[in-house]
Amino acid sequence: MKFIPCEDCALRKMAPFKQFTTPELSYVSALKSGQIELPPRTVIIEPGKYDGQLFTLFSGWAYRYRVAPSGLRQIIDVLLPGSLIGLQQLMLGASDSGVESLTPVTLCVLQGRSLNEIFDDHSKLSSAMVFALMEDERRADRRIEMVAKQSGPERLAYFLLELVDRLQPLGLGNDSMSYFPLQRRHLADLLGLSDTHVSRSMTELRRDDLATIGANSLVIRNRAMMTKLSGYVIGEAEHQRLLL
């Protein structure tokens, strides 16, 4: 993929992301040192290991995961375009989480300048970063609560509604249809279910004409009933996210 300067980034102009002042854009442009393309199933960050790299997911899907001592994988979050990859490891050192590409991805490599300048010279950028991290944490907390209290079909319905509401502002779908590269094993690792239980939950949503998943696509057929089933509440973003 041809190198795209930050000034020409179409993703940056989308509504979810903070619009920069000229000095802010100049700093972020200098922060980006390159672009790399990776195929699906590529480990971007390995759990417990970190080489100091920081990336922005420019295109494609990835996921953050942990591996339990038993060897079982737990997917923590699905990463969509605009996600910052490696910040936790950069700030805290090596962590027990990793990141793997789900589809072909393009990553912006952020090594041109020190990230500390955000906190020293660009307070509005650092605030946007904190708000984005808090929003991600809130979404993860809601999912933990969901896993603890809900049945398989309820968990799946909740996640699917949450996902389409994240995709729509990125121009990657609408409130009823989107591209969907997640496989049954990914949903099992994400929702704390077995593959068999995920399959049964998908069948139940399809049988009740609520949603269908197939051929890398998701179709929401009855959002109102899925909302009632899952207890899903739209999480309104109070602040624009930081896109580095």
Asked if residues 135 and 241 have their Cβ atoms less than 8 Å apart, the reply is yes
Query: Is a pLDDT exceeding 80 seen at residue 113?
Result: no
- pTM to 2 decimals? 0.90
Domain boundary among 91, 123, 155: 123
The per-residue pLDDT for 237 is: 58
Say yes or no: 78 and 166 in one domain.
no
Domain boundary among 101, 123, 145: 123
Q: What is the CATH number of the domain that holds 161?
A: 1.10.10.10
236 located within any domain: no
Tens-digit pLDDT profile for residues 166-215? 999 899 988 788 999 999 999 999 998 999 999 999 999 999 999 999 88
Say yes or no: 89 and 15 in one domain.
yes
Say yes or no: 115 and 146 in one domain.
no
Asked if residues 6 and 32 have their Cβ atoms less than 8 Å apart, the reply is yes
Domain boundary among 89, 123, 157: 123
Say yes or no: 193 and 162 in one domain.
yes
Q: What are the beta bridge partners of residue 62?
A: 79, 101
Whole-number Å distance between alpha carbons of 222 and 228: 10
DSSP 3-state assignment of 166? Answer: helix
47 located within any domain: yes
Q: What domain range includes position 28?
A: 6-123
Say yes or no: 109 and 166 in one domain.
no
Whole-number Å distance between alpha carbons of 156 and 201: 7
Say yes or no: 19 and 116 in one domain.
yes
Q: Into how many domains does the chain fold?
A: 2
CA dihedral 195, 197, 198, 200 (to 10 degrees): 120
Output DSSP code: residue 191.
H
241 located within any domain: no
Query: Is a pLDDT exceeding 90 seen at residue 60?
Result: yes
For the chain, the C-alpha Rg in angstroms (whole number) is 18
Query: Is a pLDDT exceeding 80 seen at residue 94?
Result: no
Q: What is the CATH number of the domain that holds 65?
A: 2.60.120.10
